[in-house]
Structure 1
C-alpha cells in the first residue's frame, strides 16, 4: 500500500533520479516526474525520517499569498492556488483525492510609515498586473471593514481576499507522496551520508547510504530542507542555507471576533490569523535569530509573554484576554543570501540539482517548484514557468533575487 512503511534498502543498484528528502519538495518533484509523459526513468526518494515529524512541512502554517513584489513569486502562488482548488483534476480525476479549497481571508499587511506604504503601493502594481485582486486600504477603511483592529498608528493596509489564505497542505503532501509511490517511485527509510563525483568533478556518480549501500544515479536532487547545506557539502558545494527557528502559538480568546481574522502582518513582524471557528494562530521569529541545531525545537516561552502577546493585545484590543492552547517551534530552511529559493543545477556539477532555501515560502511554492524541477530533470530546461532567476549561479555571482515582501 502507498501509505505503508518504507523499505530500508533500495530495490536497485542504480536510478535515473535520486531525490534526497521526501517531504513536500521532494515528493512534489517525484509526483510531477510521474505525471510527465516524457519521463520514463526510475526514481528513488531517500528520506531519513519517514514519520516527517520534525520536517518543515509538518510545522508549516499552511497558507498561500499572492502579495509579493516579484512577478515570478506571484505566478508561483497563482499556480499553487489553481493546483489546490483543482487537486483531484490535476491528479487524474482519482475519486479518492478530496476536493480542496482555500480559506481566502487574505493577508493584511499593515504599514505604520510612509516608506513601507510606498512599498505596498509598488507591490500592488506588480500584483494587479498579474491578475491578483490586491486592495489598498487607508486606516479609516480598515477600521470600517475590520473594526477589531487598532489602527491609530497605521498609514496603509494591503489585502487580497481571492486565493489567499489557509489551505490543507498536509493533504496535498500526502497525495503527492501516495500517488508518486503508486506510480512506481521508490521511497526508502535511509539517509545519504556521502556523495561521490566522477574524476573530473563535474558529475555525481553515486550516493552512499547510512546502511552502507552505494547507489548509482543519473541525476540527484537536494530536497533536504534545513539540512540542504550539509547535503550540498557532500558534493563539495557551498549553499547558504541554515535552520532558523520559528515559533507558532494557537490561542483562544475570551471574546472571539465576530468575523474572520485575515493573516495580519503587524509592523512589528508578529503575524496572526484565524485558525478555527474560535481559535487563532500567531507566529514570529526568534530574537536573536541564529542558526540552530537540526534537532533544536525548544520553545522560548518568554517570547510569547514579553513580545507576542502584548503586540497582539495592542493591535486587537479584543484579544487582551487570550489563552494559549498549543505551541510549537519549526525550522525555516533559511537562505541567508536573499531569502529566496535555490532551484536547478549547479553550474559545474551539472547533474546536482538544488531545491532549497525557501525561507518560509516552501509549502506555498511546492507545486510550481516540484513541477519546474521535474521539467529540468526531463528536458534540461524550465518550461511552464521560467525559474531561471532562482538558479544557483546568482549566489556564485553575488546577484541576489530581491523580494520585498518577505515575512
Structure 2
C-alpha cells in the first residue's frame, strides 16, 4: 500500500486530480515533468492499496488493431513510449518496461465480421501498423494448434502487440511525480463546487474544501459519480470482466497470440501459463465495489470455447481468477477526454472501456498539454471530447473485448 497523507498540505492547488490509479498518475507525471508547468498538483485517491482498481486488475496488453484511426494512433504512441520508457522518464534508476509481443489474432466466424476485419486491417496498415489478413490455411500453418474449419479469416499483427508491464510504468509515474512535488492524499471526493461555469473547489469526506484551478476526473469506473458532483452527466459505468489464469496439461509449442474467438472469449500466453478473459452474457452496470463472481461462467461458456478452438486446452487447470471492472462508455465504448462543454476547468480522462492502460501515456500527455497550452499538441484528441456525447454523436470503437 502506498504511504499517503490523509489531509492535503495546502488549501488550494492549481490542479486537483480525482483518482490516483493509472490515469491520475499519468496526468500527474506528465504535468510535473512539463517545463511549462510550475503549479501545485494534488491527487486524491480513495484506496491507496489500489487492490480493486481497474489498473491493478488489468490484463496489461497493447494493440494497434482498433476500428477507429484515433485509437490506432494512440496505441502507436503508447508503443513508442514503452520502448523508450527510461529515456522518456529521464532517470537512470528507471528500468526498461518488460514486453512480450506475441501479437493479437482476431478470428472471424462469419462473412460480415470478415468484411469488417478486412476494412479495419486496411486502415491500420495505412497508418503503419503491421496488421494483415490471414486465410484459415495460413493461420493453421503458423499456429497449427487452432481449429480453423469454422473460421472465415483472421486479422493478425505481431508488431508492438501483446503484453507490457503496466505495473512498472504506473509505479514510476507515481514515484517520480511525488519526487517532483505532486501531493498524493488518501481521501474521498464528495463534492465539486461550481460557480459561474467554473469548478471553484473540491470537497473531501474528511471535511476539507480545497480550492482548484483545474479539476481532472480520473476516477475510472466511478467517473460518472464524480461528474455528477459538478452537475454534469457522463455515460460511464462499472461493468464486470472476468479473468482466469490456467495451466495446460499439453502446453503449446509456441507463444499464443491474444486470440479473440468469435464467441468473444479471448486467450493468450502468460509466461508458462495462459490467461483467458470473458464478458458475462448478462452484462449490467454494477456497483463500483461489487466484485462477486459468477462461477458458472467458466464451466458454461469459457472452458467449452477454449477446448473447441484449441483442442490441446481440453485438459487445463485454473490456478488463479479474478473479477475486474471496465469503465464502460455506454454510448460508443470510446474514451471521453478533455474539457467539459460548460464547466470550463473540468477535464475528463474517462470511459476507456477496457483499453485504458495502453492508452494512458497518450492520455496523460494530452491532458498535460491541454492544461499548459489550451489545446492538443502531440495527438489531436478532439474527436474524443465530450461534445460528441452531448450531441449524441457516436464515435464507435468496435474492437472492444
Q: Same fold (TM over 0.5)?
A: yes
How many angstroms apart in 1 are the aligned matches of 2:372 and 2:278? Answer: 39
Equivalent of 1:38 in 27, 36, 39: 36
C-alpha RMSD of matched pairs (Å): 0.9
Aligned match for 2:395, one of 390, 394, 401: 401
Does the aligned pair in 1 maintain the 2:74–2:362 contact within 8 Å?
A: yes
Equivalent of 1:64, from 62, 65, 72? 62
Q: Distance in 1 between matches of 2:250 and 2:2?
A: 44
Structure 2 residue aligned with 1:219, among 214, 225, 228?
214
Distance of 1:103 and 1:276 partners within structure 2? 9
For 1:184, the equivalent position in structure 2 comes to 181
Q: Check conservation: 1:81, 1:102, Cα contact below 8 A.
A: no
Q: Residue 79 in 1 paired to residue 77 in 2?
A: yes
2: distance between equivalents of 1:360 and 1:405? 10
CA drift at 1:287: 1.9
Matches of 2:399 and 2:298, distance apart in 1: 24
Looking at structure 2, the residues matched to 163 and 265 of structure 1 have their Cα atoms a distance apart, in angstroms, of 17
Tell me, in whole angstroms, the C-alpha distance in 1 between the residues paired with 2:396 and 2:5: 42
The runs of 5 or more residues in structure 2 that have no matched partner are: none
- Relative to the length of structure 2, the TM-score reads 0.99
Instruction: Give the corresponding residue for 1:12.
Output: 10
- Give, in whole Å, the separation in 2 of the partners of 1:403 and 1:254: 37
1:220-369 matches, within 5 Å, as: 220-277=215-272, 279-369=273-363
Deviations 1:46-87 (A, max 9, x none): 000000011100100000000112111011101111111111
Q: 1:101 offset after TM fit, Å?
A: 4.0
TM-score by length of 1: 0.97
Shift of 1:134: 0.8
1:132-171 alignment runs, 5 A limit: 132-171=129-168
Does the 8 Å CA contact 1:67/1:405 hold for their aligned counterparts? yes
**Structure 1 gap segments, 5+ residues each:** none
Report the number of matched residues: 401
Q: CA shift at 1:4, angstroms?
A: 5.3
Deviation of the 1:276 alpha carbon: 1.2
Query: Does structure 1 retain, via aligned residues, the 8 Å contact 2:246–2:274?
Result: yes
Find runs of 4+ consecutive structure 1 residues off by over 4 angstroms.
none
Residue 330 of structure 1 deviates from its aligned partner by: 0.1
